[in-house]
A = this chain, B = another copy of it.
Amino acid sequence: MPTRRPLPLDRVRIHDRFWAPRQATNREVTLPLQYRILKETGRIDAFRLAWRPGEPDRPHQFWDSDVAKWIEAAGYSLATHPDPDLMARVDEVVELIAAAQQPDGYLNIYYTVVEPSKRWTNLRDMHELYCAGHLIEAAVAYYEGTGKRRLLDVMCRYADHIASVFGPGEGQRRGYPGHEEIELALVKLYRATGVERYLRLAEFFVNERGRQPHYYDAEARARGEDPGAYRFRDYAYNQAHLPIRQQTTAEGHAVRAMYLYSGVADVAAECGDDSLMAPLERLWENVTGRRMYVTGGIGSSAHGERFTYDYDLPNATAYTETCAAIGLAFWAQRMLLLDPAGTYGDVLERALYNGILSGVSLDGRSFFYSNPLDVDRLAWEAASEAQRHEFDSPERQGWFRCACCPPNVARLLASLGAYVYGEDEETAYVHLFVGSTAYLHLGGREVALRQETDYPWGERVRIRVQPEFSDRFTLALRLPGWCLAPHLEVNGAPVALDGLVDRGYARLRRVWEPGDIVDLILPMPVERVRAHPRVTADAGRVALQRGPVVYCLEEPENGANLHALSLPEDAPFEAAYEPDLLGAVVTVRTEGERSMAGAWGGSLYSAERPAVEPVALKAIPYYAWANRGLGSMLVWIREG
């Protein structure tokens, strides 16, 4: 298989009406805000290593990663939008990090000031290698975005140290992280530096995982603990229950799973290891065919933030951590590199426009950790404090004690350009429909593609093809799985898709002239989406989807008790662009019915049929919910 790599960010400019404003908000509001919070909460200054036992504000084991993800996001942003103030700010933090590095290259706040004697003694529970991974990702992003090597050099030294500690050699530890992340980071470091040692260490971590006798058992015993007393009960929690090649279902903590699968895909690509493809495909099929919400959210249960079992997709208690949906996008991006097939692009798109984007408010100032599909404000307000702990807040928060999600959204938005296109020797790929310009390298040839589109609201995607000179190559356009009747034109002339489509991509192979125009028309009727009959939570219900956007009913338009609403099977839909609503969205209007609580009387149960009234319903994009104060929201609407 060809080794495709993601496009460097400086080769893609996004200039559409949908994503470009979100990126601007991310750059102008979210990044400065998160810097201030990182500063105020002591996370940045913790790198000064000044904390001493007994003092308040003890550094937490994954503070390093919060700062790292912010640097990473800044690096991505700087690649396309130079900003000397932001760069100066990052450089300051980089110096703190550099100064925190120990003489042997080691670099971790917690294990330098809190438990300095316990380095590498608890890979299972602690986030030591996870933090290292995020710092490595930050270093690579900042280097690629600015050309500055300072942090990259620091992290190479740390990676060298880690490579000396871990490995199959004598005196080395055969361990691997409890929270995966460093695997994919080491592949990035390898790609940035060309140092193969980093790739081999990633490969080691991937291959060592889940072997017997189990490293976490031995490690626990070495700490004087009973391995059987592990609080998450089994190593499926961190995907270490089996070697990766024997895993068939997505298990455990959903974010960890996504980071692992992404790292495995990276190793498969760079090592050319075909034996990893079958497990990756099996796991992909399991996640996306049985364990994914219609929003692209994953991880059904708050208990362990984890996958549960096939078709278990409860809506009100959906955990669907923002980071997990982002992780799914990471994995999809890597699968597209390995094998450009429509399923990967479809899932990437589903997560991006729905379960990821819902993670951040329109103003860029607040964030969801979990992204449920059913919120009942009346229940939330009626619930006691103790009961509320059973589910998550239905309002976005400015920050979290466990603050993984906010900077994760920031880095995803800042790096969106890397997800839109793909390239190899012969083919230019358009994976996503985002108004943007990309400079692709097909072997030695430069080809610029310029997309013009109002996607996801408009149905037309225009692509201007600009090779340096007339040249034969393939332009591969993803035909979204949600689109039942795509239509293609080249220079105004319709092109029949028969015979042109390979696994979800229309492959236009021809001699392209500078200035050629390709139009892809993707009709977007409002669809009633239904879930597999085994999904008990969605039985008798439909979700509304238009294009890639999943809709929801929210309280401002539809009242508080959304479960009293139903949608007749023949109700018509009307989609309308509303430029002044929720940052400009297409809304969906229809006619439904409401069971009237007022007409019901006092009894809890009755053989009487409840009175219903006709009611105008209006759905908004799911990603835009919870931007108008606390209120009810519902994705899956009762039909009939």
Query: Nearest Cβ distance between residue A373 and chain B, in whole angstroms?
Result: 13
How long is the Cα–Cα vector from A310 to B640 in the complex, in angstroms? 26
A-B pairs with lowest CB-CB distance, top 8: A309-B382, A536-B563, A640-B640, A533-B595, A527-B607, A533-B597, A539-B563, A540-B638
B640 touches A534 (CB 8 A): no
Q: Which residues of chain B have C-beta atoms less than 8 A from A401's C-beta? A: none
CA distance A608 to B540 in the complex (A): 13
Q: Is the CB of B309 within 8 A of A390?
A: no
Contacts of A500 in B (CB 8 A): none
Contact with B along A586-620 (1 / 0, CB 8 A): 00000000011100101111111110000000000
A137-145, A190-198, A285-293 - interface stretch: A285-293
Which of A42-50, A230-238, A334-342 is found at the contact surface with chain B? Answer: A230-238
Docked complex Cα distance between A638 and B236 (Å): 35
Judge if A33 is at the interface, Cβ distance under 8 Å: no
Given contacts A234-B384, A301-B387, A540-B640, contact A379 B530 (CB under 8 A): no
Contact residue among B304, B382, B606 (Cβ-Cβ distance under 8 Å from A530): B606
Q: Are B288 and A607 in contact (CB under 8 A)?
A: no
How far is B419's CA from A70's CA once the two chains are assembled, in angstroms?
A: 68
Q: What is the CA–CA distance of A638 and B309 in the complex, to the nearest angstrom?
A: 23
**Nearest Cβ distance between residue A240 and chain B, in whole angstroms?**
15
Whether the pair B289, A604 counts as a contact (CB closer than 8 A) is yes
* Contact assessment for A309 and B605 in the assembled complex, using a CB-CB cutoff below 8 Å: no
Q: Does A535 contact B (CB under 8 A)?
A: yes
Q: For residue A596, which residue of chain B has the nearest CB? A: B533
Q: Which residues of B contact A534 (CB under 8 A)?
A: 378, 561, 564, 597
Q: Is the CB of B563 within 8 A of A294?
A: no
Residues of chain A whose beta carbon lies under 8 Å from any beta carbon of chain B: 232-234, 236, 288-290, 292, 294, 301, 303-304, 308-312, 376, 378-379, 382-387, 390, 482, 484, 527-536, 539-540, 543, 545, 561, 563-564, 566, 595-597, 600, 602-610, 638, 640
Interface centre among A376, A386, A543, A596 (most CB of B within 10 A): A386
Known A-B contacts A234-B386, A387-B301, A484-B607; the reply to A561 vs B540 at CB < 8 A is no
Give 5 A-B pairs besides A484-B607, A530-B609, A533-B610 with Cβ atoms closer than 8 angstroms.
A289-B604, A308-B382, A532-B606, A540-B540, A545-B607
B residues within 8 A CB of A604?
288-290, 292, 531-532, 535
> Which chain B residues lie closer than 8 Å to A608 at the CB level?
530
User: Which of B289, B308, B596 is close to A383, meaning CB atoms less than 8 Å apart?
Assistant: B308
Task: Give A456 to B563 CA distance when docked, in angstroms.
Answer: 34
> In the complex, A531→B610 CA distance in Å?
9
Contact B566 A379 (CB under 8 A): no
Query: Would you give 24 A-B contacts (Cβ < 8 Å), ordered by A?
Result: A232-B386, A233-B384, A234-B385, A236-B384, A289-B603, A304-B386, A308-B383, A308-B387, A309-B383, A309-B384, A312-B382, A312-B383, A378-B534, A482-B607, A528-B607, A529-B606, A530-B609, A530-B610, A531-B605, A533-B564, A533-B600, A536-B563, A539-B638, A640-B640
In angstroms, Cα B531 to Cα A387, docked, is: 23
Which of chain B's residues have a CB closer than 8 A to the CB of A312? 379, 382-383
Chain B residues closer than 8 Å to A378, beta-carbon distance: 534
Residues on B with C-beta less than 8 A from A596 are 533
Contacts of A387 in B (CB 8 A): 301, 303, 308-309
Neighbouring B residues of A484 by C-beta, 8 Å: 607
Of all chain B residues, which has the CB nearest A539? B563
Chain B residues whose CB sits within 8 angstroms of the CB of A539 once the complex forms: 563-564, 566, 595, 638
Which of B310, B529, B563, B603 sits near A605, CB closer than 8 Å? B529
Residue in A236, A390, A482, A484 with the greatest tally of chain B CB atoms within 10 Å: A390
Chain B residue nearest to A564 in the complex (CB): B533
**Assuming A232-B386, A386-B304, is B605 touching A530 (CB within 8 A)?**
yes
**A303 interface neighbour in B386, B530, B536, B605, Cβ under 8 Å:** B386
Q: State A486–B8 Cα separation when bound (angstroms).
A: 80
Q: Considering the chains assembled together, what is the distance between the CA atoms of A540 and B609 in angstroms? A: 11
A307 to B: closest C-beta gap in Å: 10
> In the complex, what residue of chain B is closest to A565 when comparing beta carbons?
B539
* Distance from A595 Cβ to chain B, minimum over Cβ atoms (Å): 4
Q: A540-B640, A605-B294, A605-B530 are in contact. Are A233 and B386 (CB under 8 A)?
A: yes
Minimum C-beta distance from A137 to chain B (A): 31
Query: Nearest-CB distance from A355 to chain B (Å)?
Result: 13
A617 to B367, CA, bound (A): 47
Residues of B within 8 A of A530 (CB): 605-610
Tell me the minimal C-beta distance from A398 to chain B in angstroms.
Answer: 25
Q: From B288, B531, B540, B605, give the contact of A566 (CB < 8 A).
A: B540
- Chain B residues lying within 8 Å of A600, measured Cβ to Cβ, are 532-533
Q: Which of A534, A597, A609, A640 counts the most chain B CB atoms within 10 A? A: A534
Identity of the chain B residue whose Cβ is nearest the Cβ of A381 in the assembled complex: B309
Give A304 to B597 CA distance when docked, in angstroms.
Answer: 30
